[in-house]
Amino acid sequence: MIRYSYATIALPTLTPDEAVAHAAAAGYRGLEWKVGESPSAMGSSAARFLLGNRCTLAVDPVDGERAAALCADAGLAVVGLAPYVQTGDLAALEQVLDVAVAAGAPQIRWQGPRPRPGGPAYRELFAQASAFLDEAEQRAARRGVRIVVELHQHTIFPSASLALRAVGHRDPAHVGVIYDVGNLVVEGYENHRIALELLGPHLHHVHLKNAAIGPVEGAGPTRLHRPRWSPLDDGSVDVPGFLDLLAETGYAGWVSLEDLSTERDPLATLRHNAEVLSAIGAPGWLPREEFPGVGDDRG
């Protein structure tokens, strides 16, 4: 059965204690914790969520233990960690794995390298990413933690098919993919059914948010249209249709709400999204009183 969690990147104004309390009260069953600071925060379309985010864990096992205790007391699962480990930085990877073990997190998110003007071409970046995953897979597996590659715009893994080039030959018990349906509006969209079937057992996690495409203000001979983050129930993603497709294709993992829209404050957005999931009859969305035990999600 699909289960719903909330990503703390989307709760920049809340403390960890507040995030746990409000997520549990709204009906979510877990949290995906932001860990450390993004090197790409400045200039990002999500800068207000990345900079000064109060719901960020330090790269320190003590913070991992505290997050685990907070979630356990509220009946929530720690569904994963979202750090910012750079390709090739094995020392940083080891530090994050220490936090994951302390938090009881089954997986850590990893974003692939980003092509830059004048920088290495795709083939070189892919070779670097593959070599890093070779080592990361072994180190994480020894700790009982999975590496999950996030489909993310401006990286070499914006789509399911490009991510599968790096993970398809690896043990899906140790390496998989985060399918970020909102990011796919920005870059990397493929037919969802084909993409989900293509990923198969390597689909480990889903990020749910929405984006809408509209005109960009500014003078010029042409009028550009670009995506912007939008409320869950108002954008290019057919949220009910996508969640139904997940259920139809047999997905039984976590869906983390990672709403980066700014029409509401983050706490109001968290509550609004719970109302949306209830209103659309989202597969697996349960009233709080019907929750089964969260158990151990390392399997």
Sign of the alpha-carbon dihedral angle for 79, 141, 181, 63 = positive
Plot region of 259 (φ>0 → left; ψ -120 to 50 → alpha; else → beta)? beta
Domain ranges of the chain: 3-285
Model pTM score: 0.94
Range in 41-55, 67-81, 85-99, 222-236 with the lowest mean pLDDT: 41-55
Residue 43 pLDDT more than 70? no
DSSP 44-90: -TTHHHHTT-TTEE-SSHHHHHHHHHHHHHHT-EEEEEE--PPTT-H
Per-residue confidence band for 221, with pLDDT thresholds at 50, 70 and 90: confident
Q: Which fold has domain 3-285?
A: TIM Barrel (3.20.20)
233-244 confidence digits (pLDDT tens): 999 999 999 999
115-149 confidence digits (pLDDT tens): 999 999 999 999 999 999 999 999 999 999 999 99
Per-residue confidence band for 292, with pLDDT thresholds at 50, 70 and 90: low
Provide the pLDDT for residue 296: 46
CA distance 193 to 65: 38
CA distance 184 to 159: 7
What's the average model confidence in pLDDT over 9-32? 98
CA distance 31 to 40: 23
